Amino acid sequence: DPPRARARARMTLCVVALLVALAMAAGRGASAELVGPSPSEPLPVVLWHGMGDTCCNPKSMGRVKDLIQQEIGAYVVSIRLGATEEEDQRAGFFGLVPVQIAHVCHELASDSRLSAGFNAVGFSQGGQFLRAVVQVCPTLVPNFPRTSALVTLGGQHQGVMDWPGCGDAASTALCRSLQALLAFGAYSDFLQRRVVQAQYFKDPRKMDEYLQKNVFLPDINNEKALNEDYKRNLARLDLLMLLMWKNDTTVVPRESSLFGVLNATSGVIVPLREQPLYKDDRLGLRALDERGALVMDVMEGEHMELNWEFFNETIVHGVLGAAAF
């Protein structure tokens, strides 16, 4: 029933908006030391796109950037790796992710307009990459600007156990070739140092190999040695908002967007709050949750099927348009 579906969608939007407002208010109380723009001026926004996309695609990131600028007047940086959009798209498939993260750390730190802090929004794999920015950059770059809110849509925070869906993108042939490579040996040194998606591939049936050979995800998830800096940096957020698409068939399992992980023995998804990662607070997620700064919700639709009304009202105005500190 379309009218009922629309009513449910609006109710969900209102509930999420309320949760965001409460989380941001709690975050402000815990972060009074931050000095930023005037109270009427929104913080700058950093965007990171997903696989196969680019920084400036007018149908995706370009539209997002324009919307944010038009609606709240914030300065927006859409991360681009490489000198051209073509190089940026290729970097979403090929490269060493820790090196890419380090490069972005220095690029953001060199932008004087971000010096008082910023909010961040990551789409698909850009979600876990921006989380890595929050955790890693303050340890790499002195006086790195503080991130206030991080919003991720369809991120793969617990990795993927299958190649992300290829869809109808122009890079479909390339995507399918990489799918065959990943099936051949995701944890091989060759792929781990060259193929981006292999670096967040997490097969729950081969955890020992994953922990030993994956060069990116186990590190930022504190699954091996406990990095207290990573934990402290993530816990400093005023808001961490994790969103999953209800019908996502690209991210496997889709619950990875909410830090869910598959139990290889039972075949059941284990929610974040039932995992040692949360119970032992290895990453700062429980600390965020306990002060109301962790918001997790489900959106209608398939992967990257963005509801622009929801995005504008809840994220642009509800999060990014919140007054600076």
Answer whether 51's CB lies under 8 Å from 168's CB: no
**Set 60, 157, 219, 303: catalytic member:** 303
DSSP classification of residue 146:
P
**Set 60, 78, 124, 148: catalytic member:** 124
Answer whether 152's CB lies under 8 Å from 122's CB: yes
Q: What's the alpha-carbon Rg for the chain, to the nearest Å?
A: 19
Pull the structure tokens for residue 300.
Answer: 């209608």
Pull the structure tokens for residue 108.
Answer: 């953001």
Answer whether 72's CB lies under 8 Å from 43's CB: no
How many residues are recorded in the chain?
A: 325
Rounded to whole angstroms, the Cα distance separating 254 from 172 reads 21
Answer yes or no: 248 catalytic. Answer: yes
Amino acid letter, residue 270: V
Answer whether 141's CB lies under 8 Å from 226's CB: no
Answer yes or no: 106 catalytic. Answer: no
Pull the structure tokens for residue 86.
Answer: 């073509």
**Set 248, 256, 257, 289: catalytic member:** 248
Residue with tokens 């591939």: 201
Rounded to whole angstroms, the Cα distance separating 215 from 100 reads 13
Half-sphere exposure of 9 (CA within 13 A, CB side): 16
Alpha carbon distance, N-terminus to C-terminus of the chain: 43
DSSP classification of residue 94:
B
> In terms of Cα–Cα distance, which of 314, 321, 304, 319 is closest to 10?
314
- Give the residue numbers annotated as catalytic, written as ranges: 124, 248, 303
